[in-house]
Amino acid sequence: MAQTLAEKIIARAAGKPAVAPGDIVTCSVDLALMHDSGGPRRVKPILERLGARVWDPTRVIVVTDHFVPVFDSDTAAILDLTRRWVVDQDIRGFYDKQGICHIVLPERGHLRPGLFVVGGDSHSPTGGAFGCFMFGIGATDMAGVLVTGETWLRVPSTILIEWDGRLQNGVVAKDMMLRLCGDLGLDGGGYGVVQFAGPAIESMPMQERMTLCNMTAELGAMTGLIEPDETTGRYLAETGADLDDIMAWRSDPNARYGARHSYYAGSLAPQVAAPHSPANARDAGCFDKVDVDVAYIGACTGAKLTDLRNAARVLKGRKVASGVRLLVAPASLRDRQTAEEEGTLSILIEAGASLLASACGLCAGYGEHRLDADTVCISSTARNFQGRMGTPEAKVYLASPFTVAASAVAGRIADPRDILQDGP
């Protein structure tokens, strides 16, 4: 029976020769990811009531990213609990203050094609960029995984989204995802799998592919997937990941999809989503009269090394407009260090950016930089739901790091292509 990539991974995890959409199966979990907010503080009491311990400490990764840096006594207590719990459970895969979990996990070599992975966060589909079946679960389900090493699911249908052509200069994966949110809506993924394919996808570096899969959560999908290729292999080799026959993890040519959508990348303009939904996406030029107070480059969606480099291309030799605060929170400590070593961070700072901790921070509404009432922010994050990044009265527009940087320079929402064509 012809199988999609998702079906192949689920079948292997379920110990079956094949599965079909709608089947209910129990799967062995290869890896479980948790962070400090939804992790130990939630599952510890459950495991204690059961008198149980983690089934396999080598298959659990814990990252501190939501309550970093500490900003009050409650967050200090949560981090202390997290650190003590991983020691008690003998978990060696612990990354303390190293960045956002969805970026730290692959950069430390934990992902490879064909794995069945669960994460305690809604943006866990990021792992699908590496050909993993990775999806988010709640704390109760995570506790079940930690005790048994298994979880159940109903095999999802796969939606294939093909992008032909090549993106214009200044247009990136974030623009593609905002366009899809605008076209398909926040339930367009139907709690299934969104698989990306086509020449535009094949030409993308890994961190751009991560953005695509990351934001399938905004489409209402269970997860996103991209078939592994030579780009995947090169990235994995650099991280020291175990490389088996990664090219075996591909959909069969005659696999059946629940739906198919086709787009031409070359005609896509930079996108901006108006408050208070990613589905409110239109071409950036539609918002050129909107003044901004804060420009934020942060989050697992929009502050990876590739994102920082894109922002630097816009900001090099320029200054942030008077009255605008440009805040930059690199997604991981390693990306931050690389950006510093190569001069990318100095470009951002010289333009007027303030550097924040490599953590979830403002994206999740944590810390001291929460948005005040009536603040207008343009952000590289994945979500702009009312009140998420501060007070309910704040207005958040979503865009790519290119567009956020261009808007910081212009003092209003701006199409980055206008600046890029002028050069530094």
- Measure the CA–CA gap between 181 and 277, rounded to whole angstroms: 9
pLDDT at position 1 over 90: no
User: 240 and 382, same structural domain?
Assistant: no
User: 331 and 404, same structural domain?
Assistant: yes
- Measure the CA–CA gap between 301 and 138, rounded to whole angstroms: 21
User: 181 and 34, same structural domain?
Assistant: yes
Q: Where a domain ends, among 215, 237, 264?
A: 264
pLDDT at position 244 over 80: no
- Measure the CA–CA gap between 27 and 10, rounded to whole angstroms: 7
pLDDT at position 397 over 80: yes
Rounded mean pLDDT of 71-90? 96
- Measure the CA–CA gap between 137 and 199, rounded to whole angstroms: 32
Model confidence band, residue 423 (pLDDT cutoffs 50, 70, 90): low
Quote the number of domains for the chain.
2
Q: Is the peptide bond before 123 cis (omega within 30 degrees of 0)?
A: no
Between 243 and 50, the higher pLDDT residue: 50
Residues of the domain holding 382: 273-420
User: 196 and 152, same structural domain?
Assistant: yes
Strands (DSSP E) found in 317-375: 325-328, 353-355
Q: Which of 28-37, 117-126, 241-250, 397-406 has the lowest mean pLDDT?
A: 241-250
Question: How do residues 103-138 score in pLDDT, each as one tens digit?
Answer: 999 999 999 999 999 999 999 999 999 999 999 999
Rounded mean pLDDT of 62-90? 96
pLDDT at position 100 over 80: yes
Question: How do residues 196-229 score in pLDDT, each as one tens digit?
Answer: 999 999 999 999 999 999 999 999 999 999 999 9
Looking only at the bridges linking them, the beta strands covering 193-197 and 223-226 are parallel
Model confidence band, residue 188 (pLDDT cutoffs 50, 70, 90): very high
Q: What is the pLDDT of residue 424?
A: 59
Q: What is the pLDDT of residue 240?
A: 87
User: 250 and 337, same structural domain?
Assistant: no
User: 307 and 255, same structural domain?
Assistant: no
User: 412 and 315, same structural domain?
Assistant: yes
CATH of the domain at 177: 3.30.499.10
Model confidence band, residue 360 (pLDDT cutoffs 50, 70, 90): very high
Average pLDDT value for the chain: 97
Q: What are phi and psi of 253, to 5 degrees?
A: -55, -35
Question: How do residues 60-73 score in pLDDT, each as one tens digit?
Answer: 999 999 999 998 99
Helix orientation angle between 206-214 and 305-315, rounded to the nearest 10 degrees: 100
User: 159 and 299, same structural domain?
Assistant: no
User: 331 and 187, same structural domain?
Assistant: no
* Cα end-to-end span (Å), the chain: 55
DSSP per position, 159-207 = EEEEEES-PPTT--HHHHHHHHHHHH-TTTTTTSEEEEESHHHHTS-HH
Model confidence band, residue 235 (pLDDT cutoffs 50, 70, 90): very high
User: 345 and 411, same structural domain?
Assistant: yes
Q: Which helix (H) or strand (E) holds 295?
A: strand 294-297
pLDDT at position 295 over 70: yes
| Three-state secondary structure call for residue 25 | strand
Q: What is the pLDDT of residue 128?
A: 98
- Measure the CA–CA gap between 409 and 354, rounded to whole angstroms: 14
Return the residue matching tokens 């108006």.
274
User: 118 and 192, same structural domain?
Assistant: yes
User: 204 and 316, same structural domain?
Assistant: no
Contact 230, 250 (CB under 8 A): no
Question: How do residues 306-359 score in pLDDT, each as one tens digit?
Answer: 999 999 999 999 999 999 999 999 999 999 999 999 999 999 999 999 999 999
pLDDT at position 422 over 90: no
Q: What is the pLDDT of residue 421?
A: 85
- Which is nearest to 178 in space by CA: 403, 420, 3? 403
- Measure the CA–CA gap between 424 and 355, rounded to whole angstroms: 22
Q: Where a domain ends, among 209, 239, 264?
A: 264
Q: Where a domain ends, among 238, 264, 290?
A: 264
pLDDT at position 40 over 70: yes
In Å, how far from its chain's centre is CA 164?
A: 23
